[in-house]
Amino acid sequence: MFTSGKNISPFGEIIVSATSMASYERQLMKKDPCLSEKFMDIAALGLCHVLENKVFTVHSFERVVLLVGKGNNGGDAYALGALLLQMGYEVIAFQIFAETTPLAEKKGEAFEKLGGERVLISCADQVEISHNDLVVDGLLGTGCKGKVLGILKEVMDLCNRSSAFVFSIDIPSGVDGDSGKVLGSAIYATMTGYLGALKIGHLLEQGYDHVGLLHYVDFGMETDGIASYCFLANDSYVLDRLPKKSKKVHKYEAGELSVIAGTEEMSGAAELSCSAAYRTGAGLVRHFYLGSASCSIKEVISKGLKVESLEKDCARSKALLIGPGLGRGATAKEVVDKVMSMRELPIVIDGDALFLMDHPPEDAILTPHKGELINLLGVAKEIESEKLLEMAQRYCDDNNVIIVYKGMPTMILSPRSEKLCLVAGNPGMATAGSGDVLAGIIASFLAQGCAPLDASLLGVTVHGKAGDLAAEKLSPRFMVASDIIESLSPFFLSLDI
């Protein structure tokens, strides 16, 4: 998905709001006005370095097309264009507005002196983009606020209709850097060179669909003075927490897990969870089902569920998973109520159990997708992502639980702690049963003795990495949830442990 920047937390890379970063940058430039041009020149070098190492080694282009707005994002484009001219590329700039910032104008004039063609346009029809062009998007950057209209929208739409490689500077123009929302139109980038730090808009709402491949660019400004919104989880930090198995370990020590899942109509959900748990290291998996939804996996001990004996049946387990394919009938409700009272065991609550529970036990791991989280919090379906996450964080704080908010990206929220963002995974994982696999993996790590936050981070990371391997082998269009389980083996083998 991307090359990351500076890790300023054990968890990983900082993610900030575009507004807070711009405000911090302005404070620095008040103290030293020369910093503005210095930052722009360093950014241009960094952007050029990304193109040299990540794009030009793979693609060849007949021409470079700069799309230039009136702000300093356009100045960045001109500064980059000047470097590309010196490398021997033909570069033409289409400037949307006559008036630009003084620094952007200075960089535009320097670009022309080096032989760059600079065209001031009055309508989108004057912009020429061919499929063999490299398009550099310097229209708006993080300065986008409100709905994109008029000639800007027309130029963005023209760019999106082309099949050219599009390289956005900092963030695709039209994407709100504070929220990820798109109003009117926004550039669909093939790649984005983000400056200094990831912004909220790169990851939330529609922004994640627009950024393409993300690559970090250092433009000379330290970001440790900017308040964090959340952190991008560092793979090495997460995978260092994989449970280590002693040579003398036996199945009970390896982790005994109870899975309460499945009805006649949805027996597959339980089988996916149980299989995923075994394939990620659980030593023994016991499955308790409603009706006649017995698990057909040979290694699983499958038993019909009786509410009155459930606590005794689960007594030896190190962790519980409840919810996949459980249904929402009266018996399922009775089972969920009983399990919620069994507070001694670490627990993962998924699927139907999220709808049926009245209150989660402390330290529980909840694994909702967006619809389930909206239902859990009792909010309107139209709620913005940032507000939804704010309310979910409050729920974690009030109830002392962890929420694994499934999606692309996945967010992990824990009580009174930094939000963590994980980006492994692909659209092929948006398929029935993928969440059941994730729940089984998280519960497996919980049964193996991982702390709830570590189990959550490991579960999402391993699930996403295996999903990416499945997509590489099979194509995202072809994948089903069981393919993620099949790809756990090559993932673990790649770790050489």
359 CB neighbour count, 10 Å cutoff: 9
Q: What is the dihedral angle through the alpha carbons of 289, 295, 298, 304, rounded to the nearest 10 degrees?
A: 30
pLDDT, tens digit (0-9, with 9 covering 90-100), for 124-170: 999 999 999 999 999 998 878 889 999 999 999 999 999 999 999 99
The amino acid occupying position 97 is F
Its pTM stands at 0.91
**Which residue intervals of 296-408 are DSSP H helices?**
310-313, 330-340, 352-356, 370-377, 385-399
Q: Where are the alpha helices (DSSP H) in 147-224?
A: 150-161, 200-203, 207-210
Structure tokens at 490: 């090559």
Give the per-residue pLDDT at 6: 60
C-alpha count within 13 angstroms, C-beta hemisphere, residue 264 = 3
Helix H or strand E segment including 40: helix 35-50
For residue 363, pLDDT over 70 is answered with yes
Length of the chain: 497
- The answer to whether the beta carbons of residues 216 and 2 sit under 8 Å apart is yes
227-269 pLDDT, tens digit each: 899 999 888 889 888 888 766 666 666 578 999 998 877 878 9
Q: Tell me if 287 sits within 8 A of 436, measured CB to CB.
A: no
| Residue 364 vs residues 52, 103, 254, 288, 396: alpha-carbon distances, Å | 47, 53, 21, 19, 10
Given pLDDT bands bounded at 50, 70 and 90, which one contains residue 297? confident
Mean pLDDT lowest for which of 47-51, 316-320, 410-414? 316-320
Given pLDDT bands bounded at 50, 70 and 90, which one contains residue 463? very high
Q: Is the dihedral of CA 399, 402, 403, 409 positive or negative?
A: positive
Looking up tokens 């909702």 gives 368
- 235: helix, strand or coil: helix
Structure tokens at 330: 């009266």
What are the residues facing 80 on neighbouring strands?
none
Q: Is the pLDDT of residue 7 over 60?
A: no
Task: Provide the mean pLDDT of the chain.
Answer: 92
The answer to whether the beta carbons of residues 224 and 20 sit under 8 Å apart is no
Strand ranges for 133-181 from DSSP E: 133-138, 165-169
pLDDT at 296: 76
In the chain, the amino acid numbered 380 is: A
Pairing of strands 410-413, 402-405: antiparallel
Q: Are 288 and 303 in contact (CB under 8 A)?
A: yes
Name residue 290's amino acid.
Answer: L
Amino acid letter at 442?
Answer: I
Percent of residues, the chain, with pLDDT higher than 90: 76
What's the confidence (pLDDT) of residue 235?
86
Distance between CA atoms of residues 437 and 306, nearest Å: 25
Residues 65-78, mean pLDDT to the nearest whole number: 96
Please report the pLDDT score of residue 408 as a whole number.
86
| Mean pLDDT, residues 401-417 | 94
Question: Average pLDDT for residues 183-212, to the nearest whole number?
Answer: 95
Q: Which two tokens stand for residue 207?
A: 């922004």
Structure tokens at 127: 């912009």
Instruction: Quickly count: other Cβ atoms within 10 Å of residue 315's Cβ.
Output: 11
pLDDT of residue 358: 93
